[in-house]
Chains A and B, each alone.
Chain A
Amino acid sequence: MDKVVGILGGGQLGRMLAASAALLNIDVVVLDVGDSGPAKQVVAPRAPQLAHIDGSFADPVKIRELASRVDVLTVEIEHVDVGVLEEVESKVPLGVHPSPFTIKTIQDKFVQKEHLRKSGCPVSDFLQVESTEESVRAAAGKLGLPLMLKSRTLAYDGRGNFAIRDLAQAQEAIAALGNRPLYAEKWVPFVKEIAVMVVRSRSGDVVSYPVVETVHKDNICHLVFAPLRSRDPSIATRAREVAENAVKTLQGAGVFGVEMFLMADGTVYINEIAPRPHNSGHYTIEACETSQYENHLRAILSLPLGSTALKVPSACMLNILGASSNISEITSFSEFALTVPGARVHLYGKSDCRKGRKMGHITVVADSDAELSKRLRPLLERLPGGHDPKELDLYAPLFPERGFSHKQPLVGIIMGSDSDLPVMLPAADILNHFKVPYELTIVSAHRTPDRLFEYARSASARGLRAIIAGAGGAAHLPGMVAAMTALPVIGVPVKGSSLDGVDSLHSIVQMPRGIPVATVAINNGTNAGLLAVRILSAGQPQLVSAMDDYLKALEKEVLGKVDKIAEIGWDAYEVAKKARSS
């Protein structure tokens, strides 16, 4: 591509950006202290003028030197000297991206929040405070307790946040935040933290990546799950809109990480924005059609932006933090990760290991959330520094004991009444046999209409891929569910006390044009389960061969009976004996 990109900062983000640049023949010059930081290690300059620069990304002289040698300047950290960037902006052929205005706005979190509020983006209430107890007390009077006290500048990875639950903590908080300029945020009782990566082209067009759930431990990113699962299918669209609109208000090109809070009522608040590739977007390397790093390069160099779509059904990212100064813990954990299918290890080449330092990350992909959990769980169990046993069942649940629903089901088995259970059990048995994660519950079209509505509307957003619905008599359940979801719905006509189940069969199968229900035979839960497996095989090819094996076993069973009748004669055959004796 014949272009040289200068990066201020040479940590892990610069490393992954540089690795991505190499694939496009884009040269990268890194400014950071030392000769062998994470980014510099991965790019050997192919000409003397492309040599990396040893110095601070806050040093004006070094920034000017970098600017004189590149086509475009970008950052992997926002805590840079914006004054110098403004000065060199016109001298760099393709400019500074994102723009110095954007970096200046974002690097002071109070200014960032004011900008977002003025631009009409959803943010929670906040106030400027002085580093005094009285000022903190006054803020608590207006915003209530608990109160989030934050450092305006130089804050990242949770450093610079202090949650005040009691005003007696005010002095402790001010000291902990190092007497830097502060502001206070109203406490946001979120149910989930979510994030969206947004790419902004030089002309101001934006595209966004799928919404992810982020999990923090001690204020540092711990896990990222893609895509977000929720009961409310509108959240994903809404969160992407909020993130895209926020990035539209900024200037310059590049990728932006928008961190948000999701409230119980579905409201989304922006927490903060990073003007660069972000930890919550590492998963895009393995899980999306274009990584956040490649799209950052494409954006700042005016190349066509790449597709942001997921290319795997389920992905997660696990940060590897130092647990002590002992780097061998990191090495042996990474070696274990190599044995986990779908897991890919990224180590950052940091020579010093420290407690809490980001040493690397692992991305895990799978064809379903349940399979992802199976892969993630042993990694969580072996994470250096230990783990909270509760998080295993929360973030990586196993297949449940027989008789209980999986927390990450692909198939939902529902029935209109508990009396339908004997008919539906064989469907559950089949799904057990094929190791398909499922849930089983009662949803009555006539007696619990609101539950029916909620179940059908949320099914796809929760991660379900097919629904088996059993009902008798008027049997409205399968058809009504099919009307309210885009997923394939299998209907099982249940035989009632009159009309031999033909009533249920006709009711379920004779759907109007536009809304199909895949109907199986009366009382045939087995076939419903088998059909669900066949349907899932459209996305999970290994189920095709599992089904082939099942069919072969059936064939063998029948052929065995053929041989037996031939061997012992039909008069001695069990079925014949029974028929004669009755």
Chain B
Amino acid sequence: MTALPVIGVPVKGSSLDGVGSLHSIRGIPVATVAINNGTNMGLLAVRILSTGQPHLVSAMDDYLQTVEKEVLGKV
């Protein structure tokens, strides 16, 4: 019912580990992320907005570098 990009997050129910929710999203395109992964939903929204707001591309680059640094810190 909208022409805007829609992001779907399959929420894990009491059965099937959320796989049911994952499979049910079909038809008109829904950008689906991993089961119960609200973080990636937010991050995907930022990536989508970056097509109109180029400064978000560099902000996302910074975020990715921080994530990398964090993991290397744990190493």
Q: Could you say which of A171-179, A396-404, A525-533 contacts chain B?
A: A525-533
Decide yes or no whether A568 CB sits under 8 A from chain B. no
With known contacts A486-B61, A517-B33, A535–B5 Cβ distance under 8 A: yes
Cross-interface CB contact of A514 among B26, B35, B40, cutoff 8 Å: B40
In the docked arrangement, what's the CA distance between A487 and B60, Å? 8
A547 touches B3 (CB 8 A): yes
Taking CB atoms, residues of chain A closer than 8 Å to B6 are 534
- Give A512-546 as 1s and 0s: 1 = Cβ < 8 Å from B's Cβ atoms: 11111111110010011011001111111001110
A531 touches B5 (CB 8 A): yes
- Give B24-62 as 1s and 0s: 1 = Cβ < 8 Å from A's Cβ atoms: 011111111111010111011001111111111110110
Taking CB atoms, residues of chain A closer than 8 Å to B33 are 509, 511, 516-519
Interface core residue of B51, B54, B58, B63 (most chain A CB under 10 Å) = B51
Cross-interface CB contact of A486 among B4, B25, B31, B50, cutoff 8 Å: B50
Taking CB atoms, residues of chain B closer than 8 Å to A466 are 51
A514 touches B67 (CB 8 A): yes
Taking CB atoms, residues of chain B closer than 8 Å to A310 are 54
Decide yes or no whether B11 CB sits under 8 A from chain A. no
With known contacts A466-B51, A488-B44, A538-B51, A521–B57 Cβ distance under 8 A: no
Decide yes or no whether A52 CB sits under 8 A from chain B. no
- Give A491-521 as 1s and 0s: 1 = Cβ < 8 Å from B's Cβ atoms: 0000000000000010001111111111111
A544 touches B32 (CB 8 A): no
Taking CB atoms, residues of chain B closer than 8 Å to A460 are 57
Cross-interface CB contact of A518 among B7, B52, B58, B67, cutoff 8 Å: B7
Interface residues on A, range: 35 or more
- Chain B's nearest CB lies how many Å from the CB of A192? 21
Q: Which partner residue on chain B sits nearest A460 by CB separation?
A: B57
B48 touches A538 (CB 8 A): yes
B44 touches A548 (CB 8 A): no
With known contacts A486-B64, A487-B57, A515-B40, A535–B34 Cβ distance under 8 A: no
A539 touches B32 (CB 8 A): no
Decide yes or no whether A551 CB sits under 8 A from chain B. yes
B51 touches A514 (CB 8 A): no
A509 touches B47 (CB 8 A): no
- Chain B's nearest CB lies how many Å from the CB of A103? 36
In the docked arrangement, what's the CA distance between A515 and B31, Å? 14
Taking CB atoms, residues of chain B closer than 8 Å to A517 are 33
A534 touches B52 (CB 8 A): no
B29 touches A534 (CB 8 A): yes
Q: Which partner residue on chain A sits nearest B38 by CB separation?
A: A513
In the docked arrangement, what's the CA distance between A518 and B28, Å? 14
With known contacts A510-B34, A518-B7, A536-B51, A527–B29 Cβ distance under 8 A: yes
With known contacts A511-B37, A520-B31, A535–B48 Cβ distance under 8 A: yes
B29 touches A513 (CB 8 A): no
Q: Which partner residue on chain B sits nearest A543 by CB separation?
A: B3
Taking CB atoms, residues of chain A closer than 8 Å to B60 are 486
In the docked arrangement, what's the CA distance between A545 and B4, Å? 10
A511 touches B51 (CB 8 A): no
> In chain A, residues 174-204, which have Cβ atoms closer than 8 Å to a Cβ of chain B?
none
- Chain B's nearest CB lies how many Å from the CB of A403? 24
- Chain B's nearest CB lies how many Å from the CB of A10? 37
Question: Residues of B with Cβ closer than 8 Å to A?
Answer: 3-7, 22, 25-35, 37, 39-41, 43-44, 47-58, 60-61, 63-64, 67
Could you show 20 A-B contacts with beta carbons less than 8 Å apart?
A313-B54, A460-B57, A486-B47, A509-B22, A514-B39, A514-B40, A514-B43, A517-B33, A518-B32, A519-B33, A521-B25, A537-B3, A538-B48, A538-B50, A538-B52, A539-B51, A544-B3, A547-B3, A550-B3, A551-B28
* Given contact pairs A516-B47, A535-B51, a sample of 5 additional A-B residue pairs in the complex whose CB atoms are under 8 Å apart: A486-B60, A486-B63, A516-B33, A537-B3, A544-B3
